[in-house]
Amino acid sequence: MNVFMKLAGATALATLVSFAAQAQDAKPNDGLNAALWYQTSVEYKTTAKSVYAGAQRLLGAAIGDHSWTAALEQGDNYMSKSPAIVLDVDETVLDNSAYQSWVVTADSSYSSKTWAEFVNTEMSTPTPGALELTKAAAAKGVAVYYVTNRKAPEEAATIANLKKYGFPYADADHVMVRGEKKEWGSDKGTRRDAVAADHRIIMMFGDNFGDFVDDMGGDVKGRIAKMDEYSDYWGERWFMLPNPTYGSWESAAFGDNWKLSPEERRQMKTDALNDWDGPK
């Protein structure tokens, strides 16, 4: 073995040792695939685009049919009211996947402090199809309301972020944040009520069941039953965007009990899987 071969061998060994060390350092994070899919996949982008495109094709019919309403809060005497659509913000019209990706790479977790800091960067981008749909609606005389669980101190940055990309109706009257009025809690029904008072809500958009109903049915089974109750709404008046990175679907698996340890929550999520017994 000449000196060069020895050196090459030593380098290879050093590389292997360094790889092994890295593998030990890198903690697996349950959010990796979800963030990767959300941020890089054609499959996510085309799904979101398809949801919005489907809604856009129905806009004319929804505007023209004065009995058409999408809100359970609509009440009576709504047929002569002017049309509006209601959209959630996070992961519905704005893509915050940079935050979720930071959670993965920093091996961190969501906190209201880091989230507020991220919101203030105003670096979120439009989800695929959201701008086209909201602009098409506005052009047809439909008012656009953004009903978000971002908090009151985050309203200005949210409006600025929406404005940056030309979202219509991005102003303090149409961006309805949590806590802006005392009856506006994290449940969105009271805000839908407020929009429905003056408008016929023709379509709603979200990435979370709570963007459509306050009563989400509780546990996983209850949620699915609740979803079935409204089977006529989905894809016609209610439009759900995919979000595998977080949401009430996740916490439903551990009884919405965030006081449990990460290990306990993870165990309950694993237990919620309907898995094959495996090979014999």
Residues that bind Mg ion (CB under 5 A): 88, 90-91, 207
- Rounded CA-CA distance 132/90 in Å is 17
> CA-CA-CA-CA torsion for 74, 77, 83, 84, nearest 10 degrees?
-20
CA gap 80, 78 in Å, rounded: 6
111/186 with CB nearer Mg ion: 186
Least distance in angstroms from the C-beta of 88 to Mg ion: 4
Q: Kindly state the smallest distance separating residue 39's Cβ from Mg ion, in Å.
A: 16
Q: Which is nearer to Mg ion, 93 or 200 (CB)?
A: 93
Closer residue to Mg ion in complex, CB, 52/68: 52
Name the closest residue to Mg ion (Cβ). 90
Q: What amino acid is encoded at 135 in this protein?
A: K
Dump strand ranges (E) for the chain: 82-87, 94-95, 125-126, 143-151, 175-178, 199-206, 238-240
- Least distance in Å: CB of 210 to Mg ion? 9
- In the bound complex, what is the minimum distance in angstroms from residue 91's beta carbon to Mg ion? 4
Residue whose CB is less far from Mg ion, 143 or 147: 147
Lookup result for tokens 């009990």 = 257
What does DSSP say about strands 238-240 and 94-95: parallel, antiparallel, or unpaired?
A: unpaired
